[in-house]
Chain A
């Protein structure tokens, strides 16, 4: 074809059939390219993502839960490597398994059951039940040890799988179990420190992302991401497991003797408010929380509010001393009983009209004398005095379910209650709060709310100390010292001589309260003793409480239990024996009895106000 004829052709027939065809194909190509760009480039339907998601497998890397240790580093809760054993029931059949020496053996399902049972230390019937069925996933055993898992792996059974998991282990068991706490079946923290410090202990799970092909094989060249797990922090408590043991053993022995409903002991460091032991007569073994009674799951010193009884007289006398109403040697004439309107207030022992010092009133735990002293504070002041010591509010200790106790507002008190609160009836508080009142007295009037967590160690080794509560001056230093003197006379001259610890000066106060019954009224008693030692510079506090002990009211005391625990505590912490002797305060001054005082007018008697200067000498 010549060039001119081609030009001519083009002039006359500008679009040949071929051109049209090419143009048509070009348009088609454009459509395909456009579509390709639409699908690949723009991807409005998210197909690529969906495909990637289908390929991508996300495996979680569980974080290891932190340890809980006592103040000396003894582990109270630890995380152990364990395996969950699962079976693909649909694949259970006679299989030929290779041995290490190259030989093979055919294992029937029945043989397999016996072998698995042997390896895991389980009952044959349980294993058989787990293997029977047509589920593709079923648990055979949970939390087996690496040893058992290795024995099982040597069986080479293709339908048995092991999944690594963790198990919490508590070496001390029920010793301090309610304080340490426990985890539920799904590793949910359900009690004690485990629950309150869960966010620190738990850590953050990591994850591993990788792509798998259609047949489930990992694609080696595909991108993979790995986010390492961040393990939980270790929590160190101020608890001392040896002290915890002494306290639990002592309180359990006494509770057994007295057939008490329950008992608790609190051991505290006076200077810091750190709790060294929170003993219970029975408590949960965190290894098997399901076997425990519901009442044993919490620490009763924190969860149970009881009427404190006579231990509250220390708060009353401290308030009276602080307000300059009395001094330890102020003489008050105490009639055999008090008649205030229709209310009669008596003592636990019979006596005639006596002239007692303030110290003598507390030493023999006289309700009458305490009321005479305390009634010099008006109703609101009595309420404020208790509230100042924290009665009616929680301590904020790191344990779940703390009870605040009940301190009714002063204007809601009935005519009896306004006097009974002075000796600890008609008001309720936890044994821990009672201990906290004595801590304030023994620490120069500075109350530090009790705490259990000493420090937290992050996985990278950084140690943080939780912010400690601010000391609160609830009492003047001189009033605190005078209260201590009175407490020491309770042990040296008063009704708690059994509380003495040989070699050391101790002071404290007994308490016997009627225990409110659940069905209304009162039933049984709550007996207690709270004391501190050594008196020249109080360092440790022990508070023992016994709920509804059986027997005669005069033999239900826990002073000897206090002495046992305090003696162990002082020796355990190498406290030097006392070299001084305490002040010996007069208990009674019989010659100064005011004969004009009767049960009805006793509250009206007055005495010279102690001078501030004199009281500090």
Chain B
């Protein structure tokens, strides 16, 4: 296009300059300027094209990267929500009343017997109120849940089994001790040289 205009200009400009007397020929300065700008137009266009291409490329990279990020974040979200679910399950297993009570027992806590209350008007503590007394650990008779897929539930179950074993062992020990004591008492009884104990009379009122 630029070559066509440059070729036609001298041919069309010359006859008009020749035919007019003393008329000043039209200025061609802008054309020169145009010729100079032709190179810069090409450069500009090329640059614009390149910029557009680079822009699109960057945009594409951006989008692709965004896609990767989205996938990664979606995966992360799923993983987190699943972790959250698992942790919630653990919390719920640990906060089940029977497990809480059993753990409180392990820590040596005992149920409050007499609970007083404070009269807000006078600030008095009304009866009955007394400090709790140390008693034997309560035997929690409600078994922990057999929930699947929770480590905490599993741990609570094992702890309950261990407690039951310990309790059974203690009871067995106690019985043995009692039997031994009874045996000892039997042996130390004065049988006056014989082997049959004398008949004992029941006291009135028993």
Contacts and interface: CB of A to CB of B under 8 A. Distances in A.
Interface in A153-181: 167, 169-175
B97 A242 contact: yes
B96 A252 contact: no
A244 B97 contact: yes
Interface in A560-576: 567, 571, 576
- Which 9 interchain pairs have the tightest Cβ spacing? A173-B145, A245-B97, A171-B92, A252-B141, A146-B82, A145-B149, A502-B128, A287-B146, A288-B146
B143 A503 contact: no
Pick the most buried of B101, B142, B144: most chain A CB atoms within 10 A of its CB.
Answer: B142
A78 B92 contact: yes
B115 interface: yes
B86 A241 contact: no
19 contacts: A78-B89, A80-B89, A143-B149, A144-B149, A147-B86, A169-B148, A170-B147, A171-B153, A172-B97, A173-B144, A174-B143, A175-B145, A241-B97, A242-B97, A245-B142, A249-B101, A249-B138, A252-B142, A571-B115
A285 interface: yes
Interface in B127-172: 127-128, 138-150, 153
A169 B150 CA distance: 10
B142 A249 contact: yes
Contacts of A248: 141-142
Contacts of B150: 169
Which size bracket describes the interface of B in this complex?
A: 20 to 34
Contacts of B148: 143, 167, 169, 287
Interface string B106-127: 0000001011010000000011
A75 interface: yes
Interface of B: 79, 82, 85-86, 88-89, 92-93, 95-98, 101, 112, 114-115, 117, 126-128, 138-150, 153
Contacts, number: 105
A253 B97 contact: no
A426 B98 CA distance: 39
A256 B142 CA distance: 12
A285 B145 contact: yes
A577 interface: yes
The DSSP consensus for interface residues of chain A is mixed
A256 B141 contact: yes
B145 A503 contact: no
Interface of A: 74-75, 78, 80-82, 143-147, 150, 167, 169-175, 241-242, 244-245, 248-249, 252-253, 256, 285, 287-288, 291, 502-503, 567, 571, 576-577
Given A167-B148, A287-B147, A287-B148, A253 B89 contact: no
A175 B126 contact: no
B142 A175 contact: yes
A291 B89 CA distance: 22
A177 B150 CA distance: 18
Given A81-B85, A146-B86, A571-B115, A170 B101 contact: no
B82 A81 contact: yes
A291 B138 CA distance: 26
Contacts of A571: 112, 115
A245 B145 contact: no
Contact of A249 (B79, B127, B141): B141
A244 B114 CA distance: 21
Given A147-B82, A245-B98, A503-B127, A171 B117 contact: no
Contacts of B143: 173-174, 285
Contacts of B85: 80-81, 146
A577 B117 contact: yes
A82 B153 CA distance: 17
Nearest to A251: B141
A142 B175 CA distance: 46
A171 B96 contact: yes
A285 B147 CA distance: 9
A175 B138 CA distance: 17
Given A75-B92, A576-B117, A577-B117, A172 B101 contact: no
Given A81-B82, A81-B85, A285 B98 contact: no
Contacts of A567: 115
B89 A169 contact: yes
A171 B89 contact: yes
B97 to A, nearest CB: 4
Contacts of B93: 171
Contacts of A74: 95
Contacts of A291: 146
A109 B88 CA distance: 37
Contact of B126 (A80, A169, A253, A503): A503
Nearest to A501: B128
A174 B96 contact: no
Nearest to B89: A169
Contacts of B86: 145-147
Contacts of B79: 146, 150
B145 A174 contact: yes
Pick the most buried of B79, B82, B145: most chain A CB atoms within 10 A of its CB.
Answer: B145
Given A145-B86, A173-B96, A287 B145 contact: yes
